[in-house]
């Protein structure tokens, strides 16, 4: 049922992307006389990108920007269809599902771009000068300090699995994670979790199923539910969103898992044939520049490739130096993540384990 509803929704979006984008578009007028308009399609919340857009316009005051938000799977479907029709979707695509961007690039849907700024990008965050990572974000746990006692705070994946087994009644229906059938980033993180160690992943998935974990489409939805106390723990949350939520809600705390920490870099891609590829490239260079990275660290994404953690994050002194950081490399291995048969099989196994085995008596609205 969920699959059929999602298919209908995406079909409607593809049939009329302009109409679908109307409610998702935020316009940033040029501070001075407009000489060009940059159109960005993105899966990143406006709150995170707004400081970067406004700072970019200080150095490019003649550029107006249309910022259009979608969920990861929706944006990917729109971009793939636009590429097939040779009708580029905007001038720049930003997505946390870098595996989807990589497949788009591999299918010939991206423009290559090189500059002094792209040369600064780490090797693991650059695919053929077509897909670039511009953030450094760990996948974290988040919990409500009013509802999770200090002695029960999980700091590894195994500790989380054990906690749910030992305190099943207390945490039943109170742990949230992505619904990987709906969330591209959720699927990417779950797939890479399984690659780290199938034993731990299987054990955690089983524990979450027993505890009737709540599956949701989006990071923000889960974080709000944890802040309200409807959920006690959020699993595999993007670090930037989790930390931003903790700044707004003092009862939230962010934990960087100590056994291993997946690190994601949001990706950027200039669509092939983009009308204003020059403006897309200019904004991309800004994102990769020292100035853009500084604004990102302080006002938008908070985590840095240096490995330093923001204040009050429960984790090692330095994520990179600790040896637990496992960056999701933007490279050929991500094509396997998007292999249709493998993707379908993984999602079906996940759904059977986490969703279908839940007792109806345990299900919460």
Q: What is the bridge-based pairing of β-strands 252-255 and 267-271?
A: unpaired
CATH number at residue 91: 3.40.190.10
Query: Do both 236 and 200 map to the same domain?
Result: yes
More confident residue, 45 or 356: 45
**Three-class secondary structure of residue 166 per DSSP:** helix
59, 205: one domain: no
The DSSP 8-state label assigned to residue 8 in this structure reads H
Q: Tokens for 151?
A: 């002695």
Query: Is residue 6 predicted with pLDDT exceeding 60?
Result: no
**Whole-prediction pTM value?**
0.85
Comparing C-alpha atoms, which of 197, 196, 218, 192 is closest to residue 337? 192
Q: Note whether 231 and 88 are same-domain residues.
A: no
CB 252 within 8 A of CB 30: no
pLDDT of 174 strictly over 80? yes
Is pLDDT above 80 for 39?
yes
Question: Which backbone phi and psi does 171 adopt, to 5 degrees?
Answer: -100, 5
Count of domains for the chain: 2
Q: Do 159 and 82 reside in the same domain of the chain?
A: no
> Looking at the domain assignment, is residue 312 inside a domain?
no
- DSSP class per residue in 330-348: SSTHHHHHT-HHHHHHHHH
Residue showing tokens 């984790």: 315
**Res. 163: pLDDT tops 60:** yes
pLDDT of residue 160: 98
Same-domain check for residues 6 and 128: yes
In this predicted structure, the answer to whether residue 1 has a pLDDT above a threshold of 70 is: no
> Terminus-to-terminus CA distance in the chain, angstroms?
17
Is 44 among the domain residues?
Answer: yes
Same domain, 45 and 126: yes
Residue 67: beta bridge partners?
26, 40
Write out pLDDT tens, residues 207-256.
999 999 999 988 899 999 999 999 999 999 999 999 999 999 999 999 99
Segment 295-341, tens digit of pLDDT: 999 999 999 888 889 999 999 989 999 999 999 999 888 888 888 89
- Assess whether 250 and 284 both reside in one domain: no
181 shares a domain with 102: no
Question: Of 291, 277, 264, whose CA–CA distance to 92 is shortest?
Answer: 277
| pLDDT band at residue 4 using 50, 70 and 90 as cut-offs | very low
> Do 231 and 173 have their domain in common?
yes
Q: What pLDDT does residue 198 have? A: 80
Q: How confident is the model at residue 22 (pLDDT cuts 50, 70, 90)?
A: low
Q: Tell whether 129 and 171 lie within a shared domain.
A: no
H or E element at residue 142: strand 137-144
Looking at the structure, do residues 124 and 227 belong to the same domain, yes or no?
Answer: no
Position 151 in a domain:
yes
209 compared with 355, residue with greater pLDDT: 209
Domain around 21 = 2-136+265-300
Looking at the domain assignment, is residue 147 inside a domain?
yes
For the cut 70, the answer to whether the pLDDT of residue 5 exceeds it is no
Domain identity same for 222 and 357: yes
- 361 vs 211, higher pLDDT: 211
Going by pLDDT thresholds of 50, 70 and 90, the confidence category of residue 356 is low
Specify the pLDDT at position 184. 86
Angle of helix 277-288 relative to helix 46-59, nearest 10 degrees, comes to 100
Within a domain: 293: yes
DSSP assignment letter at 298: I
Alpha-carbon distances of 47 from 54, 55, 67, 77, 284, rounded to whole Å: 11, 14, 11, 24, 18
Output the pLDDT for position 227.
Answer: 97
The owner of tokens 């550029």 is: 63
Question: For residue range 64-76, what is the model confidence (pLDDT) as tens digits?
Answer: 999 999 988 899 9
- Structure tokens given for 255: 């934990």
Closest CA to 226 of 208, 209, 213: 213
Average pLDDT of the chain, as a whole number: 90
């Amino acid at each position: 049922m969920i699959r059929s509803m999602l298919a209908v929704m995406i079909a409607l979006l593809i049939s009329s992307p302009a109409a679908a984008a109307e409610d998702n578009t935020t316009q940033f007028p040029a501070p001075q006389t407009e000489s060009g308009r940059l159109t960005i399609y993105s899966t990143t919340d406006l709150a995170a990108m707004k400081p970067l857009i406004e700072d970019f316009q200080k150095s490019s005051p003649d550029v107006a920007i249309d910022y259009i938000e979608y969920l990861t799977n929706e944006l990917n479907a729109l971009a793939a269809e636009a590429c097939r029709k040779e009708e580029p979707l905007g001038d720049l695509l930003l997505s946390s599902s870098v595996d989807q961007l990589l497949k788009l690039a591999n299918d010939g849907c991206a423009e290559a771009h090189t500059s002094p700024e792209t040369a600064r990008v780490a090797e693991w965050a650059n695919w053929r000068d077509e897909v670039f990572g511009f953030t450094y974000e760990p996948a974290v746990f988040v919990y409500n300090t009013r509802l999770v006692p200090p002695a029960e705070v999980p700091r590894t994946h195994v500790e989380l699995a054990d906690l749910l087994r030992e305190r099943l009644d207390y945490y039943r229906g109170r742990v949230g994670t992505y619904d990987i059938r709906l969330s591209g980033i959720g699927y990417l993180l779950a797939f890479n979790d399984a690659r780290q160690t199938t034993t731990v992943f299987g054990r955690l998935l089983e524990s979450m199923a027993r505890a009737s974990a709540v599956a949701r489409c989006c990071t923000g939805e889960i974080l709000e539910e944890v802040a309200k106390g409807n959920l006690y723990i959020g699993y595999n949350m993007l670090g930037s969103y989790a930390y931003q939520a903790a700044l707004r809600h003092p009862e939230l705390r962010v934990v960087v898992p100590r056994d291993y920490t997946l690190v994601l870099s949001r990706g950027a891609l200039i669509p092939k044939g983009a009308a204003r590829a020059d403006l897309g490239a200019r904004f991309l260079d800004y994102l990769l520049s020292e100035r853009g990275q500084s604004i990102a660290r302080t006002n938008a994404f908070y985590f840095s490739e240096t490995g330093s953690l923001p204040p009050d994050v429960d984790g090692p002194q330095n994520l990179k130096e600790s040896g637990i950081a496992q960056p999701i490399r933007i490279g050929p291995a991500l094509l396997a993540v998007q292999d249709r048969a493998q993707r379908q099989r993984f999602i079906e196994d996940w759904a059977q384990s986490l969703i279908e085995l839940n007792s109806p008596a345990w299900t919460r609205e």
